[in-house]
Structure 1
Amino acid sequence: MKFIVLLILLANPVFASEYRVVKDADRQRDIPIQISLPMDVSSCNAENQCPVAFLSSGYGVAYDKYSFISDALNKAGYLVVAIQHELPGDPALAVTGNLYAERSENWKRGATTLKFVRNQLQSEFSGYDFNKLTFVGHSNGGDISSWLLNEGVHFAETLITLDHRRVPLPRSGSSSVLSIRAGDFPADQGVLFTEQERVTFNACIVHFANSKHNDMTDFGPDWLKASISNALMSFISGKCLGADHA
């Protein structure tokens, strides 16, 4: 069956994806993931490794409902791994009290999951670079991704968040950062860079003033999905669209 799946993936690399479950025996967690291959898999090998992005969804959104992001990254040559963080039986995400303190266990658990999935896939996909990962995360998925970068891991060099609101962006200067912001809710104090920090870290902050936090998924309007994809592609090509966009 695995051989047949691989043949299908190679035959149709543009939209090819594989669903699987990786089992973390130590934590007794069965983690669903979706692996999407780049458009041109023939260019990815041990000598010329292609980039890898880990995609983390917002809380309550299925991990595979960001296909507009996966497709854009696949076309840019990325292997994309979309990861389901919340599993049946997990505690609900806190909505009252000190949210940073109350949600920190969720973010720690998600950061551990990202590290586990990397360890599980790295040897299997030798044509891809798991030592320079790009983390992409919407809302709580962006908080998880930021949390892991703040741990000072050595295997990630790029962070892209879609309107995450709780965990501060990394200030180490070792990661390239893009944060795309919606217009309906502000981030908590200290989460985003000050203007001086943005310049110091050469970060890119893009505001879509007419967008909504919950629309940054496959269910959002086409104009927003196209705008996010454009901002993301510009960023990975070394350009920042700018500070404010309607």
Structure 2
Amino acid sequence: MKFAVPLALSLLTSSVMATSLDIYDASRERNIPITVDFPVQKDLCTTNNKCKVAFVSAGYKVPYLKYQLMVQNLNEMGYLTVAVDHELPNDPPLSKKGDLYQTRIENWKRGAETLDFLQSNISLSYPEYNFQNILLVGHSNGGDISAWLASENKSYISKIITLDHRRVALPKTAKIQVLSIRATEYPTVASALLTEKEQSKYHSCIVEIENSKHMDLTDYGSEKVMNKVRLITKGFLSGESCTKLKQQA
């Protein structure tokens, strides 16, 4: 279905625990499919006690609803989650030739614009949630999109979790807490990650799960790896040290 933002979101009711719809960005003539899942204890979320918000971005060619391991985990921790479909049928395919950092910038910028648009256009329809303190979560190319937006100095981004993103540099600032969960299947561009010194300086963390595959960080993964992802994510959002998070891997 296609609605202007205020109309589409006005149709939601507090009794609905998950809602899928298209949000229309008129400036780009772009429909943005999203699915909103509410916290398990959503009754605790009020305009005076706003609950947390997370945007979840899928990897390229991975269905955007195949991250329930993250969505359910975040819902249990009190987050409203907004799963975003970044790849529309008319979008150009993700480049696989040449300097992939340069040739994929168009895709990352488009995804970052989508997340920024959602932050500024749907918050009024969810007054019980804090859209000025957002967690970005992204797998693979969705992680690159999230890291790209995080580099744009948006004041509403407080944390970012990437799941085996591979090219865009993670933010190097104490204003944004970073967790990057790594699989061991494919190499990652070194400049995309943080050194041990940088992790300590910025209170961020890189955690590698031994013998894990790239797709293990989705709902297609092994139960063993997905359980580790849940534990590491929960620990990070609960304020555990990087040393302890690495022990969970």
Tell me if structure 1 keeps the 8 A contact 2:235–2:245.
no
Q: For 1:156 and 1:173, how far apart are their aligned partners in 2?
A: 12
Report if the CA contact (8 A) 1:209-1:244 is conserved: no
Q: 1:170–1:125: structure 2 CA closer, same or farther, 3 Å change rule? A: same
State the secondary structure of the residue aligned to 2:137: strand
- Verify the 8 A CA contact 1:54 1:83 in the aligned structure 2: yes
Partner of 1:6: 13
Give the secondary-structure state (helix, strand or coil) at the position aligned to 2:130: strand
Residue 99 of structure 2 is aligned to residue 92 of structure 1: no
1:12 matched residue in structure 2: none
1:106 matches 2:113: no
Aligned AA (2:86): H
Once the two structures are TM-superposed, the CA of residue 2 in structure 1 deviates from its matched residue by 8.2
Give 2:229's aligned residue: 228
Trace 1:84-233 onto structure 2 (pairs within 5 A). Answer: 84-233=85-234
- Aligned residue for 1:186, secondary structure, equals coil
CA 1:4–1:199: 2 relative to 1, 3 Å: closer
Give the partner amino acid of 1:42: D
What is the SS of the residue equivalent to 1:53?
strand
- TM-score (normalizing by structure 2): 0.92
Distance 1:75 1:244 in 2: 23
Q: Output the CA distance in 2 between the equivalents of 1:203 and 1:25.
A: 37
Q: Residues 89, 2 of structure 1: CA spacing in aligned structure 2 closer, same or farther, 3 A cutoff?
A: closer
Counterpart code for 1:6: T
Taking a change above 3 Å as real, the CA distance of residues 96 and 244 of structure 1, as seen in their structure-2 partners, is: farther
Segments of 4+ moved more than 4 angstroms: 1-5
Local SS of the residue matching 1:88: coil
Partner in structure 2 of residue 35 of structure 1: 36
Structure-2 separation of matches of 1:3 and 1:103: 36
SS in 2 for 1:19: strand
For residues 2 and 104 of structure 1, what CA distance do their matches in structure 2 show? 31
Q: CA deviation at 1:245?
A: 5.9
Instruction: Specify every segment of 5 or more residues in structure 1 that has no aligned partner in the other structure, as ranges.
Output: 10-15
| Cα distance in structure 2, aligned partners of 1:139 and 1:158 | 17
Supply the AA of the counterpart residue of 1:126: P
- 1:60 partner SS: coil
